[in-house]
């Protein structure tokens, strides 16, 4: 028996069996008996989005807007605190670069104000305070960089969480939602049927606000100049059901937010029997319910605007105090819009708007085409190479071809075992591997031929050929491996798939081309003791 024969053949057999075991679920197409799936590998090869169809999104959370909103909230809150502390000041205004500016009427309040900031607003510093000509003090508070960063980070985390909730309710199997650097979020939705709806659902900020309508001014005649302080003009959208046209009309509301959607615990679609229109009913938690009851009690007969992402959905008149902790959002929705709105309200608002930086969608039919075309070129390429090698190297060619076949089995098995994702470039990587894997055997066989030409026996020629070629083969493949690893680092999605199959292919071709064919040679030489080698 050849040296180490037992060891080598056991190793080869083990690798073949393992690869086949991992490959069976993919070949069986999910129709395996229970005894198999319970004890043996049951994962199929995972297909990338470009092969099975699906959607890839990169979102950016506009965290600065979350910071700005936080400053705005602080400035509103500050107004109340100032009043409580008997500081006489003109209303604080949030300004650029995370600042709040306010004007103190008396110099004597300055120390009091500074105390207040130190005590209740540790995230702010007094950036400047200067005496104006009329003796008043203008003070500027600045949000510290550390606090701003903290708010931004929290916004990112919360956005990720919210999006995860929404995607879960959207019903996609195996979605992938991952935070990236710079507050970006990567979302992969394999096999998503309606990509546009998914985008709308994920990207909706869904910030719900209730603001009281100021009916003392007429929205049609008011201008910026005549707008009462503390008010703002918003647009209310109405859809004309006959024509489907969407009209907007201005509405004047108090800028102060009476209540937000932060305390919403549930949201569901209901049908308005009178108008046969879907609406969304939301339920608040107990604190929210108290707050809502308070607002509606104090403002009976006034109008309350329900604002979603800056657009007024409706502004119903408060007929009586609502104490049940439920509110109704109606606003000319289609059934689907109402359903999606319920989903986003349930899963909570995004702390800041998100922007789509990158979107890649592949329809399922294109994915299937890619699979078919990829497999076809793989099969044809494989057959051509096999035929060529057989003609060129005859018996040794048979060995090399067996190695090539085994190589394919190992690559596929490894893909299933590591649950690596197979993409279209990944298939290209396998095809390329077929072409390049032969290289190792070509190197060895050319060496063996050289040795034979120099008069060596088949035994000696094979021995010398493998001995000399192996290191060269290793050297040459390591560089390709380096390139593949860099590629893996650099690439996303499909490209990464290419790097993966290329790397696996290199590793497995080293094994098949060196160990496996050597074993075949050893077997053949010992069994038949040929006088000349068909190579």
Among 405, 467, 526, 534, binds another protein (CB under 8 A): 467
Please, which residue, 141 or 404, has the CB nearer to another protein? Answer: 404
Please, which residue, 219 or 381, has the CB nearer to another protein? Answer: 381
Q: Which of residues 42-81 bind another protein (CB under 8 A)?
A: 50, 58
516 contributes a contact to another protein by CB under 8 A? no
State the minimum distance, in angstroms, from the CB of residue 471 to another protein: 7
Distance of CA 279 to the CA centre of its chain: 31
Among 31, 96, 224, 532, binds another protein (CB under 8 A): 532
Find the farthest-apart pair of alpha carbons in the chain and give their distance in angstroms, rounded: 114
Are the beta carbons of 503 and 410 closer than 8 angstroms? no
Distance of CA 114 to the CA centre of its chain: 44
238 contributes a contact to another protein by CB under 8 A? no
337 contributes a contact to another protein by CB under 8 A? no
Q: Please state the φ and ψ torsions of residue 91, each to the nearest 5 degrees.
A: -40, 130
Please, which residue, 378 or 523, has the CB nearer to another protein? Answer: 378
471 contributes a contact to another protein by CB under 8 A? yes
450 contributes a contact to another protein by CB under 8 A? yes
CB-based contacts of 487-494 (< 8 A; 24+ apart in sequence): 493/48, 493/49, 493/50, 493/56, 493/188, 493/360, 493/423, 494/48, 494/49, 494/50, 494/423, 494/424, 494/425, 494/426
Residues sharing a CB contact under 8 Å with residue 494, sequence separation 6 or more, in sequence order: 48, 49, 50, 423, 424, 425, 426
Among 499, 500, 510, 513, binds another protein (CB under 8 A): 499
Please, which residue, 94 or 517, has the CB nearer to another protein? Answer: 517
Please, which residue, 17 or 482, has the CB nearer to another protein? Answer: 482
515 contributes a contact to another protein by CB under 8 A? no
Please, which residue, 60 or 109, has the CB nearer to another protein? Answer: 60
Q: Please state the φ and ψ torsions of residue 239, each to the nearest 5 degrees.
A: -105, 130
Please, which residue, 176 or 450, has the CB nearer to another protein? Answer: 450
**Which three-class secondary structure string do you get for 349-411?**
CCCCCEEEEEEEEECHHHHHHHHHHHHHHHHHHHHHHHHHHHHHHHHHHHHHHHHHHHHHHHH
Beta bridge partners of 260: 209
Are the beta carbons of 315 and 219 closer than 8 angstroms? no
User: 261, 254, 249, 248: which is closest to 213 by C-alpha?
Assistant: 254
498 contributes a contact to another protein by CB under 8 A? yes
State the minimum distance, in angstroms, from the CB of residue 144 to another protein: 24
Residues 309, 315, 321, 327, Cα dihedral to 10°: -40
Give the binding range for another protein (CB under 8 A) out of 145-153, 234-242, 274-282, 446-454: 446-454
Give the binding range for another protein (CB under 8 A) out of 11-19, 65-73, 365-373, 408-416: 365-373
Q: Which two tokens stand for residue 314?
A: 């409706």
DSSP string across 92-112: EEEETTTEEEEEES-GGGHHH
Total H helices, total E strands in the chain: 14, 19
Please, which residue, 136 or 360, has the CB nearer to another protein? Answer: 360
355 contributes a contact to another protein by CB under 8 A? yes
452 contributes a contact to another protein by CB under 8 A? yes
39 contributes a contact to another protein by CB under 8 A? no
Are the beta carbons of 345 and 328 closer than 8 angstroms? no
Q: Which two tokens stand for residue 107?
A: 């110099």
Please, which residue, 310 or 467, has the CB nearer to another protein? Answer: 467
Q: Which of residues 140-199 bind another protein (CB under 8 A)?
A: 195-196, 199
**Which three-class secondary structure string do you get for 211-252?**
EEECCCCCCCCCCCCCCCCCEEEEEEEEECCCCCCEEEEEEE
Terminal Cα distance for the chain, rounded: 22
278 contributes a contact to another protein by CB under 8 A? no
Among 24, 464, 507, 523, binds another protein (CB under 8 A): 464
Please, which residue, 73 or 355, has the CB nearer to another protein? Answer: 355
Are the beta carbons of 505 and 437 closer than 8 angstroms? yes
Are the beta carbons of 206 and 257 closer than 8 angstroms? no
Among 366, 398, 402, 409, binds another protein (CB under 8 A): 366
The 3-state DSSP class for residue 318 equals coil
Give the binding range for another protein (CB under 8 A) out of 65-73, 231-239, 330-338, 495-503: 495-503
Among 62, 332, 340, 463, binds another protein (CB under 8 A): 463
Give the binding range for another protein (CB under 8 A) out of 164-172, 264-272, 329-337, 382-390: 382-390
135 contributes a contact to another protein by CB under 8 A? no
State the minimum distance, in angstroms, from the CB of residue 118 to another protein: 35
- Count of residues that interact with another protein, criterion CB under 8 A: 90
Instruction: Count Cα neighbours of 395 within 13 Å in the Cβ-side half-sphere.
Output: 13
Distance (Å, rounded) from C-alpha 502 to C-alpha 365?
A: 26
Among 40, 317, 335, 482, binds another protein (CB under 8 A): 482
Among 183, 374, 413, 505, binds another protein (CB under 8 A): 374
448 contributes a contact to another protein by CB under 8 A? no
Q: Which of residues 391-410 bind another protein (CB under 8 A)?
A: 391-394
Among 252, 484, 500, 513, binds another protein (CB under 8 A): 484
State the minimum distance, in angstroms, from the CB of residue 153 to another protein: 20
Among 145, 301, 455, 527, binds another protein (CB under 8 A): 455
246 contributes a contact to another protein by CB under 8 A? no
Beta bridge partners of 103: 90, 138
Among 16, 129, 439, 507, binds another protein (CB under 8 A): 439
Give the binding range for another protein (CB under 8 A) out of 150-158, 339-347, 388-396, 510-518: 388-396
Q: Please state the φ and ψ torsions of residue 176, each to the nearest 5 degrees.
A: -125, 125
């Amino acid at each position: 028996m050849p040296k180490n024969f037992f060891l080598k053949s056991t190793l080869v057999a083990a690798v073949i069996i393992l690869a086949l075991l991992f490959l069976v679920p993919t070949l069986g197409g999910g129709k395996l008996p229970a005894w198999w799936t319970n004890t043996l590998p049951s994962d199929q090869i995972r297909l990338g989005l470009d092969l099975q169809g699906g959607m890839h999104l990169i979102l950016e959370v506009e965290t600065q807007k979350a910071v700005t909103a936080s400053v705005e909230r602080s400035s509103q809150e500050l107004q109340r605190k100032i009043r409580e502390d008997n500081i006489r000041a003109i209303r604080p205004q949030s300004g650029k670069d995370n600042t709040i500016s306010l004007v103190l009427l008396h110099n004597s309040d300055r120390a009091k104000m500074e105390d207040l900031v130190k005590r209740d607003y540790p995230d702010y510093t007094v950036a400047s305070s200067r005496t104006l000509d009329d003796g008043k003090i203008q003070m500027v508070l600045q949000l510290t960089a550390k606090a701003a960063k903290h708010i931004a980070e929290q916004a990112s985390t919360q956005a990720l969480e919210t999006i995860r909730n929404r995607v879960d309710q959207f019903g996609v199997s195996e979605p992938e939602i991952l935070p990236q650097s710079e507050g970006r979020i990567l979302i992969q939705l394999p096999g998503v049927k309606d990509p546009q709806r998914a985008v709308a659902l994920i990207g909706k900020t869904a910030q719900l606000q209730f603001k009281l309508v100021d009916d003392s001014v007429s929205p049609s005649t008011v201008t910026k100049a005549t707008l009462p302080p503390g008010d703002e003009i918003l647009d209310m959208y109405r859809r004309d059901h006959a024509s489907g046209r969407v009209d907007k009309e201005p509405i004047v509301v108090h800028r102060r937010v009476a209540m937000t959607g932060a305390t919403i615990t549930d949201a569901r679609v209901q049908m308005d029997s009178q108008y046969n229109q879907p609406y969304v009913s939301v339920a608040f938690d107990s604190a929210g319910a108290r707050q809502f009851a308070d607002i509606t009690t104090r403002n009976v007969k006034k109008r309350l605007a329900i604002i979603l992402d800056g657009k007024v959905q409706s502004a119903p008149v408060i007929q009586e105090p609502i104490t049940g902790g439920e509110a109704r959002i109606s606003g000319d929705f289609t059934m689907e819009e109402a359903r999606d709105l319920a989903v986003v309200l349930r899963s909570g608002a995004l702390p800041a708007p998100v922007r789509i930086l990158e979107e890649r969608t592949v329809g399922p039919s294109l994915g299937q085409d890619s699979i078919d075309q990829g497999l076809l070129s793989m099969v044809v390429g494989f057959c051509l190479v096999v035929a060529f090698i057989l003609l060129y190297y005859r018996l040794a060619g048979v060995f090399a071809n067996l190695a090539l076949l085994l190589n394919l089995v190992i690559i596929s098995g490894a893909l299933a075992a590591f649950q690596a994702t197979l993409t279209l470039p990944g298939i290209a990587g396998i095809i390329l591997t077929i072409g390049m894997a032969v290289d190792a055997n070509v190197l060895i066989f050319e060496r063996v031929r050289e040795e034979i030409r120099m008069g060596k026996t088949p035994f000696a020629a094979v021995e010398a050929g493998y001995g000399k070629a192996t290191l060269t083969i290793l050297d040459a493949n390591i560089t390709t491996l380096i390139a593949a690893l860099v590629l893996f680092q650099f690439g996303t999605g499909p490209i990464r798939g290419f790097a993966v199959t290329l790397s696996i292919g290199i590793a497995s071709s080293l094994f098949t081309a060196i160990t496996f064919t050597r074993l075949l040679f050893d077997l053949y030489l010992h069994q038949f003791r040929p006088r000349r080698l068909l190579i």
